[in-house]
Amino acid sequence: MFKVGEALVGEEPNLAHIDLAVGEKDGPAGEAFLNGLSNPSQGHTPLLSVIRPDLPAKPSTLLVPKVTIGNMEDANKAFGPVQEGVSRAIVDSVDEGIIPKERAEELVVIVSVFIHPEAEDFQKLNRHNYGATRLALRRAMEDFPSVDKVLEEKDKGGHPIMGTRTVKLRNPPYLQVAMDKPSLKQQLRLMEKLPESDHIIVEAGTPLIKKYGIKAVEELREKDENAFIIADLKTLDTGHLEAKMAADAGADGVVVSGLAGINTIEKAVREADKCGIYCILDTLNVSNPIQLLENLQEKPHIAEIHRGIDEEYAGEDHSAWGDIPTIKENTREKLVAVAGGITQESAGEALESGADILVVGRAIANAKDPESKARDFLEVMGEAWSSIKQEKFGDIEQFRWRTDF
């Protein structure tokens, strides 16, 4: 047997974060137990966990502090409320049958504990470490979470330090607001006016980036650390370098031109994967987007069907979006964006054609009230999406929040 469990209980600074492993004495867990007990390190000395002196927990439990114990005040927290809470949780788990009583002498438990340096409430430390240890142990013995559960939950909720910002586009449709005006001051003001919604993407447009460089992305990220930001670089060469530059500046996605060489596109995709961001292939002026996508070994995460601004100003008629389902099948995330003259009137048509992301620039940026205009688009998109998918559409994706554990 080798089981692993984890649990977080409470709030800073008196929270408890427990990582633990359970296994046989004559296996790798037992070997790690003896190594830890016989090789203490300064500030992280493992201790045999006891309920009270002369009464050790069963199964035998090794308590390992994650945070350096720097003085007697820190030591009192570890040896007092934390140790007692962990030990009692282990023994109560035997009493409840979570750990089979007949196996208590065969097993060992290694518990890694987090003790905040500013923690001061011994009662909360004791109670939280007791609860977190019992929960982690139950999860370990029940193999929770399953792989299916991890895949279901991985993009929900939020990290206590990194927050709850959207990092995966898992719940279309999305309104991508293109910030193309080459005035960083104006675009930062526009960003302030956008409504709070999980269905809004912010695009640092090509003219903006050409004028201010990648710093424009950094400024947008500083303005809103929770925004989903795409850097529209329209990369034509050195795909890996530009993808990395975008990621380093804080972008969640980078746009590469479909007119670039296949080697450049694929390098951009690989670097985007490496950096944990999306690579979007812009098909502006590409005569056969489907053929291009089919020729790529490394598929982009998103494909963008794009009519240029100059074409719009020339008064060229809006053409059909093409075979969006086939284009979508040739992307990693099965997402297609459409750009170029999107209006509230054409938004529904684009979604009915299979689009997942509507890229809108001047219609919102030039509006007297950008927030209301963005909300108008979201409303139209919501009505169309509800009609197509028979699903409700809201500003905040409720299922992004962890609710069941």
Could you tell me whether strands 2-9 and 16-24 are parallel, antiparallel, or unpaired per DSSP bridges?
A: antiparallel
Phi/psi at 326 (nearest 5 deg)? -70, -40
Q: Give yes or no: 17 in active site.
A: yes
Give the whole-angstrom CA distance, residue 230 versus residue 351. 21
Q: Which residues does 352 contact at the CB level (< 8 Å), separation at least 6?
A: 384, 388
Active-site residue identified among 17, 128, 240, 306: 17
The sign of the dihedral angle between the CA atoms of 126, 131, 137, 139 is negative
CA pair distance 353, 336, nearest whole angstrom? 10
- Cα–Cα distance, 295 to 281 (Å, whole number): 13
Name the region of 113 (left: φ>0; alpha: ψ -120 to 50; beta: rest): beta
Please tell me whether residue 135 adopts helix, strand or coil conformation.
helix
Query: With contact defined as beta carbons under 8 Å apart, do 59 and 107 qualify?
Result: yes
From the list 269, 209, 266, 258, the residue with the least C-alpha distance to 233 is 209
Q: Between vectors from CA 133 to CA 127 and to CA 135, what angle results, nearest 5°?
A: 100
d(CA 215, CA 208): 10
No. of H helices and E strands in the chain? 16, 15
Query: Measured in whole angstroms, how far is the alpha carbon of residue 326 from the centre of its chain?
Result: 28
Contact (Cβ atoms closer than 8 angstroms) between residue 41 and residue 72: no
The full DSSP string for 177-188 is EEE-SS-HHHHH
Q: Which SS3 state, helix, strand or coil, does residue 71 take?
A: coil
Q: Which residues are the active-site residues? A: 17
